[in-house]
Amino acid sequence: MRTIRVGLGERAYDAVIGRGLLERAGELIAAVAPDARAVVVTDETVEALHRERIRLPQSAGDAVLEPGEQTKSFDRLAWLCERLSDLGLGRRDLVVAIGGGVIGDLAGFAAAIYMRGIGYVQIPTTLLAQVDSSIGGKTAIDTAWGKNLVGAFHQPRLVLADLDALDTLPDRQMRSGLAEVLKYGLLGDAGLFGWLAENGRAVLDRDPAALEHAVARSVEMKAEIVAADEHETTGRRAVLNLGHTFGHALEAETGLGDALSHGEAVAIGCAMAFRFSAAESLCPPSDARRVEEVIGSTGLPTRLEQASGAPFAADALLARMAHDKKADAGLGLILARRIGEAFLAKGVEPATLRRFLVAEGALS
């Protein structure tokens, strides 16, 4: 069991990584909120697979939602707030989110606004949620005009990442989560990236030691970056979006469905960010080639043409990138100086980017 502190002053909390944590959730939650009643928020899939492993001494009931991104909606948010109220949840009580990033984002946002904000605990059950979405306090729902555009910063009181929960996760979801782990290596830890080149497959195969290292190192990196820039005001936290501006454009063009998962889009986006950095002479071309080779070796895509729906129009991708919420103030893009060192490049010229997209196979 590993405990990583997210150092945010009076909002600081622990992220615990280990096995058998679902069974111990009651005791671990009681240690941070002794008298709180709790409502478990989960989805039908996770409920069927894992709900019975969790016993909360002061359970006030469950709120169970449909699995899938469409659950991050105004409609489900309203339903959830009403459900919390029906179950009698008060200001000192807790929301306990058990599931992937969808449940964590929705339940966290409900906790942020219900009675002007109550506490919540994250129990992430996908690799993506364990290494990324459960840490850092970004909560949100999607709207008709874009993903994650209505939300709040609201830090959890505790995060419990139980590696046993990943035993039931489909392989494609594991690979999608691995893309975010690769991202951490690329943006800030060449040693992690080198380790993944050797052990990426072992992580996918759920080798216990490899899995624990991948999750713990990712959480450690995210915790450090979030502690340095909680509300994404200095640019430090922005590097977490490496591969995401390209990736979000691709996800939007492919329809935000099963055709391309978030992690697959991020994998292509990271490879593109390195190739673009190399094309702009910011980073050695040999690093861009190595990024592509290592990502590809885990079975993740690295090229536009591997995304279903390809070829894409360069102008369509460019318009999506300009609208990405992370692209404020000109075209902000996370680029790299080398493997393990990403930075926020401001004012990237759309014409330069357009030429690059065409060179990557987008339609002119």
Ligand X SMILES: NC(=O)c1ccc[n+]([C@@H]2O[C@H](COP(=O)([O-])OP(=O)(O)OC[C@H]3O[C@@H](n4cnc5c(N)ncnc54)[C@H](O)[C@@H]3O)[C@@H](O)[C@H]2O)c1
Enumerate binding residues for ligand X (CB under 6 A).
43, 45-46, 49, 67, 69, 72, 99-103, 105, 125-126, 128-129, 132-133, 136, 138, 147-148, 165, 168-169, 173, 262
Strand runs labelled E in 242-356: 333-338, 341-345
Nearer to ligand X, 28 or 256 (CB): 256
Q: Are 148 and 104 in contact (CB under 8 A)?
A: no
Q: Are strands 13-18 and 2-6 parallel, antiparallel or unpaired?
A: antiparallel
Separation of alpha carbons 218 and 209, rounded Å: 14
Match 């989805």 to its residue by tokens: 43
Q: Report the relative pairing of strands 59-65 and 38-43 from DSSP bridges.
A: parallel
Rounded least distance, CB 224 to ligand X, Å: 15
Tokens describing residue 178 = 């691995």
Which positions are catalytic?
Answer: 116, 138, 180, 222, 232, 237, 241, 244, 248, 262
Contacts of 170 (CB under 8 A, 6+ apart): none
Min CB(239)–ligand X separation in Å: 14
Q: How far is the CB of 30 from ligand X (least distance, A)?
A: 24
Residue 105 vs 212, nearer CB to ligand X: 105
CB closer to ligand X, 142 vs 360: 142
Residues counted in the chain: 364
Q: How far is the CB of 151 from ligand X (least distance, A)?
A: 8
Whether the Cβ atoms of residue 30 and residue 8 lie closer than 8 Å to each other: no
Q: How many CB atoms lie within 10 A of CB 73?
A: 16
- CA dist., res. 189 & res. 341, Å (int): 7
Secondary structure (DSSP) of 199-266? HHHHHHTT-HHHHHHHHHHHHHHHHHHHHH-TTS-SSTGGGGGTTHHHHHHHHHHTTSSTTS-HHHHH
Give me 276's structure tokens. 């673009």
Cα–Cα distance for residue pair 34/57, rounded to 1 Å: 10
Q: Which is nearer to ligand X, 46 or 203 (CB)?
A: 46
Residue 16 vs 353, nearer CB to ligand X: 16
Query: For residues 125 and 155, which CB has a smaller minimum distance to ligand X in the complex?
Result: 125
User: Residue 68 CB, nearest distance to ligand X (Å)?
Assistant: 6
Smallest distance from ligand X to CB 198, Å: 25
